[in-house]
């Protein structure tokens, strides 16, 4: 059978209607990478380029590091453009084979084991070989490893054409398939990261690199509610444009997972657990289950918190990344936007009314109910991550008020 020709990274594959890239679809075939020039600068041998110590103020691809940052970058040979340009990465070490960085497998294992358990060790041991294999197939030059994230390994990279991209690898093939299906449905939407290619058999996604890429979670100011309007409006196509067999979960499954993770976090942090009664979590969980069983059905992001929204410059505005897509009530996606500033019930309701008047499909009554149900989840996350956080305290008070009024 003749193999389909894969698009060059940077050119979006146009699939026939209904094809999709959901679970069960074949991974796209890829051309072999172009031959490398013998004189290409390497880490070893003739033409090897040195590592240059530099201090910069604010890398263009965010690594969640406070400037100034001491960086290592590969010096470009005389007469050629630097590989990274302005997009330098912290602490990159090179393996000596092609342009593949040394991956701290143990650090990755510790990070992913929190989600997948000790069995993820085997996948982590094969990660360097997997990254090299995928990079060769797609003609990529890899950078360092993003040091955060609980389900995947993210590596900034460049195509042979010099286009900045991101390679995302996960041991959970279902996570990769779900994300690919959703991003395919959101294709060409300005406020959603673009999927360039996918190898679902290897849990690999090739994504655009959003620049400048500043996370809203890293900004000192409040999360701007007015900027939520185009993001939320762009996420909810009606009806969802999904290829056959996408296998995306329903919102009920997503909310159950979120509450189960909250329960686990409380077990690991007894000081916070002492302030959050189990019946408060269980009551909120039951309310979320009732809400998820009814209401309109849209394709949702499913994890739209400040760490998953990037600044994309004047042309793009805010760009949503890293979805945990599901099918259900769009009000679920609005919860983090509405609760970001904390405050009492009146302040939350005012933000809901303001947003509902500008975003088609957002029911203010259901948004308020979802905020009451999910407030305890946000409270636990903030109290664990920040200690005595005022927004976390406000969310805990909102959850208690919801329980008393139910």
Active site residue ranges: 303
- Distance CA(321)–CA(309), nearest Å, equals 6
- Distance CA(181)–CA(242), nearest Å, equals 7
302: DSSP letter: S
Closest CA to 170 of 111, 216, 240: 111
Q: Is 156 helix (H, G, I), strand (E, B) or coil?
A: strand
Contact (Cβ atoms closer than 8 angstroms) between residue 327 and residue 240: yes
153: DSSP letter: E
- Distance CA(75)–CA(254), nearest Å, equals 46
List of residues 6+ apart from 219 with CB closer than 8 A: none
- Distance CA(120)–CA(34), nearest Å, equals 33
Strand partners, 303: none
Burial letters for 269-288: b for 16+ Cβ neighbours within 10 Å, e otherwise? eeebbeebeeebbebbbebb
- Distance CA(108)–CA(170), nearest Å, equals 11
DSSP string, 14-77: -PPTT----TTSPPPP-PPPPPPPTTS--SSSTT---EEEEEESS-SS--S-PSSEEEEEEPPP
DSSP string, 257-299: HHHHHHHHHHHH-HHHHTTS-HHHHHHHHHHHHHHHTSS--EE
Strand partners, 155: 167
Contact (Cβ atoms closer than 8 angstroms) between residue 398 and residue 377: no
- Distance CA(55)–CA(72), nearest Å, equals 9
Cis peptide before 239 (omega within 30 of 0): yes
């Amino acid at each position: 059978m003749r193999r389909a020709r894969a698009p060059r990274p940077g050119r979006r594959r146009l699939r026939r209607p209904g094809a999709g890239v959901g679970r069960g679809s074949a991974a796209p075939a890829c051309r072999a990478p172009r031959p490398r020039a013998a004189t290409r600068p390497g880490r070893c041998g003739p033409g090897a380029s040195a590592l240059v110590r530099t201090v910069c103020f604010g890398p263009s691809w965010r690594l969640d590091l406070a400037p100034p940052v001491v960086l290592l970058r590969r010096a470009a040979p005389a007469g050629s453009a630097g590989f990274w340009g302005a997009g330098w990465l912290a602490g990159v070490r090179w393996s000596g084979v092609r342009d593949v960085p040394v991956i701290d497998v143990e650090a990755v294992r510790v990070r992913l084991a929190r989600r997948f358990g000790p069995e993820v060790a085997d996948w982590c041991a094969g990660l360097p070989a997997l990254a090299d294999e995928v990079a060769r197939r797609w003609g990529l030059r890899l950078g360092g490893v993003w040091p955060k994230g609980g389900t995947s390994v993210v590596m900034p990279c460049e195509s042979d054409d010099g286009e900045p991209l991101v390679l995302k690898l996960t041991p959970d093939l279902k996570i990769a398939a779900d994300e690919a299906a959703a991003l395919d449905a959101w294709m060409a939407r300005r406020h959603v990261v673009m999927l360039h290619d996918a190898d679902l058999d290897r849990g690999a996604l090739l994504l655009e690199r959003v620049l400048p890429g500043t996370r809203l979670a890293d900004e000192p100011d409040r999360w701007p509610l007015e900027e939520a309007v185009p993001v939320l409006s762009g996420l909810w196509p009606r009806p969802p444009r999904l290829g056959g067999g996408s296998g995306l979960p329903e919102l009920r499954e997503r909310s159950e997972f979120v509450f189960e993770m909250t329960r686990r976090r409380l077990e690991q942090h007894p000081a916070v657990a002492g302030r959050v009664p189990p019946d408060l979590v269980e009551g909120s969980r039951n309310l979320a289950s009732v809400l998820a069983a009814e209401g309109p059905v849209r394709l949702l992001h499913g994890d739209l918190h400040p760490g998953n929204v990037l600044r994309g410059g004047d042309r793009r505005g805010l760009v949503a990344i890293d979805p945990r897509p599901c099918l259900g009530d769009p009000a679920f996606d609005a919860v983090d936007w509405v609760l970001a500033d904390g405050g009492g019930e009146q302040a939350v309701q005012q933000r809901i009314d303001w947003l509902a008047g500008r975003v088609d499909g957002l029911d203010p009554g259901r948004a308020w109910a979802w905020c009451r149900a999910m407030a305890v989840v946000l409270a636990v996350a903030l109290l664990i991550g920040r200690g005595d956080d005022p927004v976390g305290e406000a969310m805990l008070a909102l959850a208690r008020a919801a329980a008393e009024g139910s």
